[in-house]
Amino acid sequence: METPKYYSSRGFKTGKVTIPGFDLVELPKNCFFRNDGDVKDIRKHVIKVCRQMNTSPGYIGSENHLSLAYGNHLEFTEISAGSTVKASVIMVKEEQYLLSKILSFGHESVHALIYFGLEEHIIKKLRESGFQMDPFKKYPGDEESVAMIGGFLTVYNLEKILNKNLGTILNPELNRYKLDLDKSRIL
Ligand SMILES: [Zn+2]
């Protein structure tokens, strides 16, 4: 099994890490996270990261509903001698509207949290932000929909901090997640 140094020398963090939109999160044992932030070309960056990890990711191309162009989450799982090591990398495309970028960050963060088994943290953040929805019950077995809720939650919280509206999503297929989130507001 690769040592923690293998991951730290590749820029991964473990222990208490900042996951965009979800604050400081205590990662379970043997979990590593890296936020690559803004990248020019998602596809090229994915290839670069895979080379760096001497492997191919278990999770590429499932962002097609949004087009891989907006963001991605890569998972590198290593199983040896009965233990599992999980390493996650998130990234978003540099050139996009702020609203879309924040939405993408929150979305990819949810994939990372689910991968680490931290579903509870997503629900906790929703409660703290004033929403009673449990997206895992609302969309059973549908991680993409849960990720969309995480995206809109992140936009909501940033708008509150900035005290300004970041704009409107015109795509009704995406906007229905915002409506679902708004409906679960605890007044
Ligand atoms: Zn996704």
Distance from residue 67's CA to the centre of ligand 1 (Å): 9
Distance from residue 111's CA to the centre of ligand 1 (Å): 7
Distance from residue 8's CA to the centre of ligand 1 (Å): 26
Could you read off the pLDDT of 62-107 as tens digits, one per residue? 444 444 578 999 988 888 788 899 999 999 999 889 999 999 999 9
0.75 exceeded by the pTM?
yes
Could you read off the pLDDT of 149-175 as tens digits, one per residue? 999 999 999 999 999 999 998 889 999
- Catalogue the long-range contacts made by 95-100 (C-beta closer than 8 Å, 24 or more residues apart): 95/40, 96/70, 97/167, 98/166, 98/167, 99/155, 99/166, 99/167, 99/169, 100/70
102 HSE (CA, 13 A, CB side): 19
How far is it, in rounded angstroms, from Cα 170 to Cα 87?
A: 34
Q: Which residues surround ligand 1, an ion (CB under 5 A)?
A: 63, 144, 147
pLDDT grade for 30, boundaries at 50, 70 and 90: very high
Could you read off the pLDDT of 34-64 as tens digits, one per residue? 999 999 988 889 889 988 988 765 555 444 4
Distance from residue 102's CA to the centre of ligand 1 (Å): 14
At 45 the three-state DSSP class reads helix
Average pLDDT over the chain reads: 90
Distance from residue 81's CA to the centre of ligand 1 (Å): 31
Give pLDDT, residue 43.
Answer: 84
